[in-house]
Amino acid sequence: MGFFDLEGQVAVITGGSKGIGRAIAERMAEGGAKVVISSRKVDACQEVVDGIKAKGGEALAVGCNVTHVEQLQHLVDESMKAYGRIDCLVGNAAVNPHYGPMTTIKEPAFQKIVDCNIRANLWLSKMVLPQMAERKDGTIIIISSIAGIKGTDDIGMYGVSKAADMAMARNLAVRWGEHNIRVNTIAPGLIKTDFAKALWEDPERRAKVEAQYPLRRIGDPDDIAGVAVFLAADAGRYITGQTIVVDGGSTIVAGGI
């Protein structure tokens, strides 16, 4: 196996039908992994699966609303039934139903953020960690956000959930490291996805943002996928409990967005 090769691995990816999740699924499949693609819309997942299979890869679509624990268990069960193991879990599914100051958030939106962005990642981790520990090998990658390390007045609770994911990764890394299991988060900056469309589809606003980025562009889903492949492969075998910021340099600029 090559340093960045994923041959023989099985990767389960939540929120895998589009955007960052889709890019991770496609790039991991290119690296040789069998990928299980999950989201609420199984038809959208199947479209990604068909594309991977057309290129000679192996993939499976499983519908799953990550806010329902029984559906998380179904996702794990179906993945194990199909492939017999889960080597890499990518927790990418996330929501942000509230835009505005944290003090204006209502209970339903608060609970949805907690259930999708935090609880789902912990429960899935609990479900896959034992079989990883048996083999003394495995990786968990949670897609966080720079909103988890910066202050914001408009997506504050989302940022809290993403900071929680970073803490979760550190804690799991401490507990499961003796079993050769690595747990990390990736913190994207502004990426060109449907999820962040409101932040980049306005040409004037986008130009203003990009002018402040050292790389002078917002990110592409593949920019995140490359780091995920690295963390899942042997190349990242001595990295655990870390948050890798992938933001074109936006957080290093004083006054940056």
E strand or H helix at 245, and its extent? strand 243-246
Identify whether 158 is a catalytic site residue: yes
The structure tokens listed for 29 are: 């499949």
d(CA 13, CA 38): 6
pLDDT in tens, 156-183: 999 999 999 999 999 999 999 999 999 9
Give ∠ CA 106-158-25 in degrees, rounded to 5. Answer: 130
Say if CB 223 and CB 124 are below 8 A apart. no
Which residue among 83, 158, 213, 238 is the active-site one? 158
What is the pTM (predicted TM-score) of this model? 0.95
Q: Along the 257 residues of the chain, how does pLDDT read in single tens digits? A: 689 999 999 999 999 999 999 999 999 999 999 999 999 999 999 999 999 999 999 999 999 999 999 999 999 999 999 999 999 999 999 999 999 999 999 999 999 999 999 999 999 999 999 999 999 999 999 999 999 999 988 899 999 999 999 999 999 999 999 999 999 999 999 999 887 777 778 888 888 888 989 999 999 999 999 999 999 999 999 999 999 999 999 999 876 44
Residue 199: what pLDDT? 72
Residue 205: what pLDDT? 83
Residue 202: what pLDDT? 83
Residue 1: what pLDDT? 61
d(CA 139, CA 72): 18
The structure tokens listed for 49 are: 């699966």
Residue 206: what pLDDT? 86
Domains of the chain, CATH where assigned: 10-246 (3.40.50.720)
Say if CB 198 and CB 190 are below 8 A apart. no
CA 228 and chain centroid, separation: 8
Residue 102: what pLDDT? 93
